Amino acid sequence: MKNNSYASSFFTVQSFLKCLLLLTLLTLTPGCYGSGDKAALRKEKSQTAQTINIGVVWPFASDYKSFINGIVMASDEINLSGGVLGKKISLRLKDDESNVSRGMIIADQLAADPEVCAAIGFCNSYVTLPVSYIYEAAGILMVTTASTAPGFNPVRSPLLFRTVANGSDIAKKIADVINRLGYKKAVLCYVKNDYGLTAANACEDELKNLLISVIDRRPYISGSVAEFNQITDCWKLLKFDCVILFGDDVGGPEFIKAIRKEKIAVPVFCGDAMNSPELINIAGGDAEGAIVSSFFNPSAVSAKGSKFVTDYKNRFGVLPDSFATGAYDTLKLVAEAIKRAQNTNPQKIAEALRSLKNEEGVANSYSFDERGEVINKKVFLKIVSGKKFIYLDSSNEVEYIKKSLEK
């Protein structure tokens, strides 16, 4: 997702070597985090701590600030109702700045505190994947509410969870709608980081299964005008039905401006990382008709969800988005798991999370598989119309898109 600089959006050699060194130390160093002594200490200290201590890791300066609103709202509700097991939730807010090195430093800090039982957040897949090994080795429950890289939790750790759909699920949704629209030729652009690459690969595979051709595919790194011009110079000579864009929330809107400048007028389908007001703020009128993936639709919720939408709007003055609802639901799920486990031992919390069956939340009903992936995965679409996002109902999304293209 969002980067402070495009150069930080994927592993540098230095970052990669740092990860390898850290993992080696975690594996070989006597008494390291995750060893029997440290795991036992965390079990003891998390139980005897005055509060239930949960790390919250997020890029605070990003355009996804609603995440903080959601998790604070959930924490306030839990604490005002008496807390969990007679204890209040204490959030340890940490800003990873969308930076791998910063994320690793934070993971080390939280791992060094035996009173921390869980960590929630993790916006950027390229940060989430390497730090997950640190949390797992430290015996801390880790839940990502936004990272969509399909490769999360490859070791099937019982401590790692994800509460949103992954890149493969998003790819299936986009490919299905493109197929139902009758399109047969697409071009694809993606930001060159773990998120963009895995999403692009998954989408191309889904399109191939539907006999839809990807006639050209290009990554971007710097997001510069010159880089985008190289892509559009090629694309304006090709014939295709739609553009698929797995960009970030800055480079993505700039790319849309670039293709519209070249009079490329076909529909643009965007991944979840562009589910941000910055799409409209940056691209302006060029964003009209852009179709964006989301994990939440405020008009397609239960009575519980409807109450949350009202309460959130009353408190913050805007409707909640998928980042707010993901944060809210996730903290509520962890609190419920602690309550059921009657324990703040991360292993026990994880076991209780896996025992949940269709636990009702705001954005979803939650059950988890053996890899900690949410089973009931929901992916919605919304379209930019009149300089605002309009959520699409899955029953008529194709018809709405067709009508919007006729305008």
Domain architecture of the chain: domains with CATH: 6-164+302-366 (3.40.50.2300), 168-294+380-406 (3.40.50.2300)
Task: Report percent pLDDT > 70 for the chain.
Answer: 90
* Short-list 364, 282, 373, 367, CA closest to 328: 364
Q: Where is pLDDT greater, at 346 or 17? A: 346
Residue 8 pLDDT > 60, yes or no?
Answer: no
Lowest mean pLDDT among 36-40, 196-200, 201-205, 258-262: 36-40
Taking the C-alpha atoms of residue 260 and residue 164, their distance in angstroms, rounded to an integer, is 31
Residue 36's pLDDT is 53
Confidence of residue 20 (pLDDT cuts 50, 70, 90): very low
| Predicted confidence (pLDDT) per residue in 169-227, tens digit | 999 999 999 999 999 999 999 999 888 999 999 999 999 999 999 999 999 999 999 99
Percentage of residues in the chain with pLDDT exceeding 90? 79
Task: Grade residue 31 by pLDDT with cuts at 50, 70 and 90.
Answer: very low
16 vs 111, residue with greater confidence: 111
Phi, psi of 120 (to 5 degrees): -130, 145
d(CA 72, CA 74): 5
**Which residues make Cβ contacts (< 8 Å) with residue 273, sequence separation at least 6?**
1, 2, 191, 195, 246, 247, 248, 249, 252
Q: What is the pLDDT of residue 383?
A: 96
Amino acid at 247: G
What pLDDT is recorded for position 301?
Answer: 85
- Per residue in 282-295, pLDDT tens? 999 999 999 999 99
In degrees to the nearest 10, what's the CA dihedral of 73, 75, 79, 85? 150
> For the ranges 152-156, 298-302, 325-329, which has the lowest average pLDDT?
298-302
pLDDT at position 294, please? 95
Q: The tokens of 362 are what? A: 């705001």
Q: Give the mean pLDDT of 55-65.
A: 88
Residue 159 scores a pLDDT above 70? yes
DSSP string, 116-128: EEEEEE---HHHH
Cα–Cα distances (Å) from 221 to 251, 360, 395, in that order, read: 9, 40, 37
Q: What is the pLDDT of residues 337-386, one digit of tens each?
A: 999 999 999 999 999 999 999 999 999 999 999 999 999 888 999 999 99
323: helix, strand or coil? helix
Mean residue pLDDT across the chain: 90
